[in-house]
Each structure stands twice: as structure tokens, then as C-alpha cells.
């Protein structure tokens, strides 16, 4: 079933795209970092004192931490104030950061793939994560120089699925939205990129299934970012590039 979904949306990418993108914009968590278990565990620790033991991180992938905490607590009949939400968000971020420092769960083949792609495309990061979590990833893996733009949840007023972070990224790269390819792992991220006018959106399977990503509007789905260089080479073979 998954094989059929991959084949179908690969054909959709080929039929929709007229030229190669000028830039590839990446989400961080779930795309470049296999960080879902770290974030899920941190949220679970924060929610445990409230008696919440059925938290499902996949439903909130791409959301800002404070928004997740507010939504989950209100769903459990709690009425937290803004200060309490901020305190819990800070605690969750601290716990997640400790886990990420200990594990550095960079996706397999991520850095070589980024290095290869940077020779042909302008690369950017557009993550709902905190500035601290992005800085940790860049420093731990020595890859800050590969990105021409880096934006995080702290830089925007509206979180994904709102298109703000992608609109601002396209502007920072000085490209038209249609000349950008976005790589996302979550429904909210795909919706955000689509609303911003991205020319194509590649889903990375894991946080969500291939069917879920396709249903949200992904042009194609891959199983890991290490597949992206070869996938793009195949997908755009013979395509017209607007790169100067």
C-alpha cells in the first residue's frame, strides 16, 4: 500500500513541476533530526503531574510548544494562565534539550545529503522549534554554513499551519514561492508550505504515514532525507532550471 502511495505522488510531482527549484527549505524535527521521541518524552514528563497519560505527539508535530501545552491541558479540563503555560513550556524545552544533547539524533545520512544539495540549491531552515534547539543542531553537526536562512518559532508570530514562517523564508532567500521546495514531516508543516505558495512540498515519512502526508498536500513522499539528492536528480532530470 505504501509503495502505491509513493508511486502515485511521485507522478504528481512530475506532472505539477515545470522547472527545478532554486531553493530547498527544511523543517528540523522529524526531517533532519529524529527528535520525535525526545520531544514526546519531554511532553509526557510535563503532563504526568496533571494525570495526562495518553499524549500523542504525532497530533501536534509542527506546533509551538506553548500551543501544545495549552491545547492539551484545556482538553483535559484544565484552565492554565499564560504565565503557567510559559513555565511549563520552558520546562518541556529544558527536558527536550537535555535529551537532544545526550543523543544528537541526527537523521541517517542527513549531513552528507545537505552538503550535496548545497552545491546545487540554496538551503534554508524553517522550524517551529526554539532558537536554542536549532542552535544546538547546527553546532553539534557543524552545518550552519550550509544554510542561507534560518528561522525558528521564536521568530514568527503565527505557528504552522499558518504560512508566515515560509513566506518570510522565501523573502529572505529572495525567491518567488513557486521556486522553493519545502521538506516537511507533519501535516501542519505541509499545510503551512502550501499556504505560502511553495512550488512543491516533499513529505518525510515517520511522524506521519505516507498516506497522511499525501492527503495533506505533499507532492511526493520519501522515507528519509538521505534519499532526497537522488530523488531530486531523478525527478528533475531534463527539467528546466531558472537558476542563474
Q: Whats the size of the chain, residue-wise?
A: 244
Dist. CA 172–CA 170, nearest whole Å: 5
> 22: closest CA among 110, 111, 117, 162?
117
Q: Judge whether 189 and 165 are in contact, CB under 8 Å.
A: no
Q: Judge whether 239 and 17 are in contact, CB under 8 Å.
A: yes
- DSSP letter at 196 equals T
pLDDT of residue 244: 47
Q: Which of 103, 118, 144 is the last residue of a domain?
A: 103
Same domain, 114 and 218: yes
Q: Say if 244 falls within a structural domain.
A: no
Q: Which of 61, 83, 103 is the last residue of a domain?
A: 103
Q: Which of 58, 82, 103 is the last residue of a domain?
A: 103
Q: What is the CA radius of gyration of the chain?
A: 18
Question: In this structure, what are the phi and psi dihedrals at residue 125, rounded to the nearest 5 degrees?
Answer: -115, 135
pLDDT of residue 239: 58
- CATH code assigned at 213: 3.40.50.1000
pLDDT of residue 61: 83
The whole domain housing 88 covers 36-103
pLDDT of residue 141: 96
What sections of 17-125 are H helices per DSSP?
A: 36-47, 65-75, 82-103, 110-118
pLDDT of residue 73: 97
Same domain, 74 and 137: no
244 residues of the chain, pLDDT tens digit each: 333 444 444 445 544 555 789 999 999 999 999 999 999 999 999 999 999 999 999 889 878 899 999 999 999 999 899 999 999 999 999 999 999 999 999 999 999 999 999 999 999 999 998 898 899 999 999 999 999 999 999 999 998 999 999 999 999 999 999 999 999 999 999 999 999 999 999 999 998 999 999 999 999 999 999 999 999 988 887 554 545 4
User: How many Cβ atoms from other residues are within 10 Å of residue 26's Cβ?
Assistant: 24
pLDDT of residue 5: 46
Amino acid at each position: 500500500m505504501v509503495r502505491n502511495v509513493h508511486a502515485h505522488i511521485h507522478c504528481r510531482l512530475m506532472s505539477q513541476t515545470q522547472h527545478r527549484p532554486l531553493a530547498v527549505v527544511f523543517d528540523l524535527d522529524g526531517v533532519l533530526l529524529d527528535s520525535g521521541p525526545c520531544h514526546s518524552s519531554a511532553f509526557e514528563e510535563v503532563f504526568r503531574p496533571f494525570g495526562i497519560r495518553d499524549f500523542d505527539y504525532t497530533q501536534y508535530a509542527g506546533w509551538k510548544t506553548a500551543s501544545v501545552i495549552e491545547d492539551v491541558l484545556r482538553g483535559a479540563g484544565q484552565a492554565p494562565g499564560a504565565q503557567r503555560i510559559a513555565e511549563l513550556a520552558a520546562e518541556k524545552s529544558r527536558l527536550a534539550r537535555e535529551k537532544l544533547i545526550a543523543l544528537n539524533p541526527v537523521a541517517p545520512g542527513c549531513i552528507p545529503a545537505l552538503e550535496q544539495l548545497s552545491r546545487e540549491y540554496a538551503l534554508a531552515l524553517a522550524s517551529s522549534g526554539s532558537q536554542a534547539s536549532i542552535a544546538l543542531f547546527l553546532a553539534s553537526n557543524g552545518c550552519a554554513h550550509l544554510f542561507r536562512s534560518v528561522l525558528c518559532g521564536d521568530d514568527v508570530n503565527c505557528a504552522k499551519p499558518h504560512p508566515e514562517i515560509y513566506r518570510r523564508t522565501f523573502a529572505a532567500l529572495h525567491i518567488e514561492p513557486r521556486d522553493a521546495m519545502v521538506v516537511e514531516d507533519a501535516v501542519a508543516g505541509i499545510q503551512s508550505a502550501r499556504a505560502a505558495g511553495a512550488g512543491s512540498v516533499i513529505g518525510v515519512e515517520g511522524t506521519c504515514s505516507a498516506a497522511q502526508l499525501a492527503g495533506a498536500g505533499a507532492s511526493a513522499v520519501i522515507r528519509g532525507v538521505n534519499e532526497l539528492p537522488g530523488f531530486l536528480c531523478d525527478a528533475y532530470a531534463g527539467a528546466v532550471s531558472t537558476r542563474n
